[in-house]
Amino acid sequence: MTEPLADLPARRPVLAHHERFTGKVWDVVSDEVDLGEAGVVTRDYVRHTGAVVIVALDEADRVYLVRQYRHPVEAECWEPPAGLLDIAGEDPADAARRELHEEADLTADEWHTLVDYFPSGGGVSEAVRVFLARGIGTVPLDERHERTDEERDMIGAWIPLDDAVAAVLDGRVHSSSAVAGLLAADRARRDGYASLRPADAPWMRPEATRLVR
């Protein structure tokens, strides 16, 4: 291989599209896809809005994590603050700032793109961007967001980055956002943050995920 390793944007002809289920956050759809010589196949998948994740890192190399109940896996998972891209026209970096405010009562002066990933590209159209937030501040008490539903009982804690990475590698922390975000943050720290990309770096985000309820 002579070119840099990179995913290749590609689209195959969709001969038929079927809406199977419309939910509050995501939909289930079926596409009949023409793969050329490989024939026509039917693929069912979850059409997702996409999401942002925030790895907030303070001057002591501690990362802010929240513990939130995740019903599908029946567990209270430790993970970075995160949220859906479900507001029309909202810039992903602005969404990240909003989620950090709402879930962690924190602000940040310095923002970079840490890593992008598809959590399950074989069955979900979701694309996730993880931001690294530094220059951390605290939201005043009278400006804090009132959390509801699963977020109501959510707790947060500052954890040394080394300890958080160890928890991932030891199999004690399982959230995909924590695995990707914490390992990427550790890698960035090791090279003096030289590998960080701008907050508005190009992003391979499927257009189909840009849904608004």
pLDDT of residue 87: 87
Q: Which of residues 26 and 91 earns the better pLDDT score?
A: 91
How many H-runs (helices) and E-runs (strands) does the chain carry?
3, 11
User: Per the structure, how many domains does the chain have?
Assistant: 2
For residues 22 and 57, state if they share a domain. Answer: no
pLDDT of residue 209: 43
Q: Which of residues 43 and 88 earns the better pLDDT score?
A: 43
What average pLDDT is seen over the chain? 92
Evaluate whether residue 212 is within a structural domain: no
For residues 97 and 163, state if they share a domain. Answer: yes
Active site residue 151: yes
What gap in Å lies between CA 178 and CA 130, rounded to an integer? 10
Contact status, residue 55 vs residue 133, Cβ threshold 8 Å: yes
pLDDT of residue 102: 93
For residues 32 and 67, state if they share a domain. Answer: no
For residues 118 and 80, state if they share a domain. Answer: yes
pLDDT of residue 192: 96
For residues 108 and 22, state if they share a domain. Answer: no
Evaluate whether residue 8 is within a structural domain: no
pLDDT for 45-73, tens place per residue? 999 999 999 999 999 999 999 999 999 99
pLDDT of residue 144: 80
What gap in Å lies between CA 190 and CA 183, rounded to an integer? 11
Catalytic site residue from 32, 76, 102, 151: 151
pLDDT for 144-175, tens place per residue? 877 777 667 889 999 999 999 999 999 999 99
For residues 89 and 187, state if they share a domain. Answer: yes
pLDDT of residue 190: 96
Average pLDDT over residues 129-154: 85
- For the whole model, what pTM was predicted? 0.92
Evaluate whether residue 123 is within a structural domain: yes
For residues 84 and 142, state if they share a domain. Answer: yes
Structural domain including 18 reads 14-47
Strand 128-138's sheet: what is its strand order? Answer: 82-84, 51-56, 128-138, 106-117, 197-198
For residues 18 and 78, state if they share a domain. Answer: no
Q: Is residue 112 classed as helix, strand or coil in its secondary structure? A: strand
Evaluate whether residue 213 is within a structural domain: no
For residues 97 and 166, state if they share a domain. Answer: yes
Strands (E), 82-127: 82-84, 106-117
Evaluate whether residue 175 is within a structural domain: yes
What gap in Å lies between CA 199 and CA 185, rounded to an integer? 15
Q: How many residues does the chain have?
A: 213
For residues 56 and 37, state if they share a domain. Answer: no
Evaluate whether residue 135 is within a structural domain: yes
Spacing of C-alpha 104 from chain mean position: 16
pLDDT of residue 109: 97
Evaluate whether residue 91 is within a structural domain: yes
pLDDT of residue 86: 87
Evaluate whether residue 210 is within a structural domain: no
What gap in Å lies between CA 21 and CA 1, rounded to an integer? 42
- Reference 162, options 195, 129, 197, 189; nearest CA is 189
